[in-house]
Chains A and B, each alone.
Chain A
Amino acid sequence: MTPFDSFHLPALPAGHPMELMTAGRLKCRFPAPTAELIEQTVEALREARRTLGRRPVDDVVEAVDRAAVRLADPGDPLRQEAEDGVGRATGYSPAMTRLVLDRMTADWRAPALRRLLRAELGDPAALDRFLPREGDRRTRAYGPGLSFHVFAGNVPGVAVTSIVRSLLVKAPVLAKLASGEPVLPVLFARALTAADPGLGAAVATTYWPGGTPEPERVALDAADLVVVYGGEEAVASVRARAAFGSRLVVHGPRLSAGLIAAGALEGDPATLARDVARAVATFDQQGCVSPHAIWIEDPAGDLTDRFADALAVAMDEVERVLPRGRLDAAATSTIHQERGAAELRGHATGTTRVLTGDGTSWTVVVDRAPGFRPSCLNRFVYLRPVARVDDAVEALAGTAAYLQSVAIAAPAELWGDVAHRLAMAGATRVTTFDRLPWPPPEWHHDGSGPLQELVRWVDLED
């Protein structure tokens, strides 16, 4: 099979040597990451910015929208290439790949982008001209001269969303792809170039093995904004080498969870169980928005097992329509280890109950011990009964360094109070189970404004 070209480089010289890598089951080709190649790329991106800076933001919105339309259209060859390539690289099942592509591309359509711009900047025209503001001044928002993105992980769409955010503030993008998903950003860049060659020239993306010194040195020296996804080590390494005065936006690994108040389990739990099952199953639980554990307010101790049974039915149902993807031996081995350990814990102490689907497809562990235990993911979720909601909040507070989204199911009158307590415990998003996997484009991603943290406001006091 011909390797996938996991790069989009407007300044790639003809005959540049190529290297190969394998992402999941996708063979990929990328240009040898020389310092010279990145220097030429940076030069080309700077040139593209001169034009981009003079164009209205709505041009960006329109071009991104046209690219999104193609990636959303099952009849478009680009979409077919995306389904095939993303599926091979990530191991997600075809149904999961299609679902993720459908949901992610919706965020890149014009109405969503305009909503994001308004939510973040008030009047998007602030990116095009100086607008009158409070006081005797006018202000205008400028994006960075060059943004450098370092991607990680395999959740499709995360990288493209990051690229789109920079483009919306008229910043050219140099992006290092993740070995886990080196496909979608490239196809997006191709679609963008077809829709608007000038804008396409402002996006350069390629792969090199993480930590390769030369290309990263050139990129980090040139960029005045660095967006880095990844674990502690990767982030620390980028932070140490970023140019003085450059701005760093970090998205480290995160953890999400759920909380069900007793009042939400008064009737038939099937609907709620379906939403919880979907939240666990989406991205095969590998997303930062995927819940590791669901706390259940169960003062009399009679609600959790009933909900676990309903969740088991729902997990089976999800497996039928959105099968879990292919896992390697380490992942399935870990599921077996964690299941077996939980079972033995149950037999020894009576505090756990383990429900499983076919093979390693899904696992629900009712765990009555206090505290929190991270899931091994890939559709393995803990249900943790507690006497009071506060017990759950307290357990979650122990994870504050990583905590992101918490889905809650509770009577309406409890929402404000519970949300406040979760926020105090470190959460940056409180939502419902059905919305948990799909934060809106304008969400405060890990607590910050997705465009606000990219722009520099310039005051004109004339």
Chain B
Amino acid sequence: MLDEAGRALRDELLQVIRRGAEGPLDDAAFDTLALRVFAYNHTRVPAYAGYCRARGREPGTVTSWRDIPAVPTAAFKEVTLLAGGAEAEAVFRTSGTTLGRAQRGAHPVADLSIYRHALRAAFATYLLPDRARLPFLSLVPPAGDVPDSSLSFMVTDVQERFGAEGSATFADPDGLDLPGLDAAVGAAVAEDRPILLLGTSAAFIHWLDQLVAAGRRHPLPDGSRLMDTGGYKGAGRDVPPDALRQAYRDRLGLPAHHCINEYGMTEMLSQLYDAALADHHAGRTRPPRKAAPPWVRSVAVDPETLEPVPPGATGLLRHLDLANIGSVAAIQTEDLGRVDEQGLVLEGRAAGAPPRGCSIAMDLILRETRG
């Protein structure tokens, strides 16, 4: 739980979140909140304070969210980044291994209510712009089975909050129940009842491979949609996003704007989504972009200097997530992408490169995905 000052800040943020993921928050208002969250992170997380001091960027001298020192995602593996005095209501962990011993990133969450409100607002905006009530069929193990997975927490929460009767989960920590999923999807098709599918890209690739092998298709009823997330870990092969979209169309009859990729990470309590469905519903058009809720801002930085690159240029993505009140809001990722006034384009990972020489590389450490 957060202390009194943290709760006051949380309540202000919740006001913003309640206005929705497309609600207003102009630059000045964002900066004001960002600098207050920064000051709070700085006083409550001593390691972060030292990190900021070493950079000469501290509350009082920083005037824009872009100048707030960002902590690398790798630091979550090393250091507990939790507001001092707070007790974590949950600890979410990344999956990953290293030379011989498990070393996983940990994000202790001081106040789950922020996470709940943030994830629901963004999910509703980008997956349910029409406020549809659909059965949610999930390929993500339920939160009860995997209490340290932020993704399981999120999927279980939206399933309970927004899912209609008939919602079900076809995964547990041991694996996927694809026959069960097939039966449920087949029934929905037979009854002409639209559904919402949720899962990791890897899980969907696995399922689509089986559908292809069996020569089967599920022509999903109109209004059906799909949310996928994460890398392709466990899929056994890489599938480019476009090819995956094509497979969703071929096997499930889903148009591209009904297939929404979620971009999130254990280290951040907020998520970004493809804006296609929300745009489609609102009659807007824009090139393919991920959209952030107003309480998150992103910038691409130069991989060598870590200085912001011009809008539209490719760089390492850095996010400022106001929902991270209880840890550190500014996160330096290893994701490559570009950011312009229309949104964000994800271009891949700048990590886990194979060894160039004949030395053993630390690539095992770098093989991280969100758990």
Residues of A within 8 A of B (CB): 90, 152-155, 158, 180, 229, 231, 251, 253-256, 283-288, 290, 292, 327-334, 336-349, 359-360, 372, 374-377, 398-399, 402
Contact = CB atoms under 8 A, between A and B. Distances in A.
22 contacts: A90-B356, A153-B357, A154-B356, A251-B358, A255-B359, A284-B357, A285-B359, A288-B358, A333-B316, A333-B334, A334-B351, A337-B73, A337-B332, A344-B47, A344-B71, A345-B47, A372-B99, A375-B362, A376-B361, A377-B355, A377-B357, A377-B359
A158 B357 CA distance: 10
Given A337-B332, A344-B51, A359-B304, A329 B316 contact: yes
A328 B50 contact: no
Given A333-B334, A337-B74, A374 B99 contact: yes
A95 to B, nearest CB: 18
B79 A333 contact: no
B350 A286 contact: no
B362 A374 contact: yes
Which among B332, B352, B357 has the highest number of chain A CB atoms within 10 Å?
B357
Contacts of A376: 361-362
Contact of B361 (A327, A328, A372, A377): A377
B359 A334 contact: no
Given A283-B357, A288-B359, A336-B306, 15 more contacts: A254-B358, A254-B360, A255-B359, A256-B359, A287-B357, A290-B359, A329-B316, A336-B72, A337-B74, A340-B51, A344-B51, A344-B79, A345-B78, A347-B54, A372-B99
Contact of A255 (B47, B304, B360): B360
Nearest to A342: B78
B48 A344 contact: yes
A330 B47 contact: no
Contacts, number: 148
Contacts of A345: 47, 75, 78-79
Interface residues of B, number: 43
Contact of B356 (A153, A332, A337, A375): A153
Contacts of B47: 344-345, 347-348
B233 interface: no
B358 A155 contact: yes
B236 to A, nearest CB: 13
Which among A229, A341, A345 has the highest number of chain B CB atoms within 10 Å?
A341
A383 B354 CA distance: 25
B346 interface: no
Contacts of B81: 344
B366 interface: yes
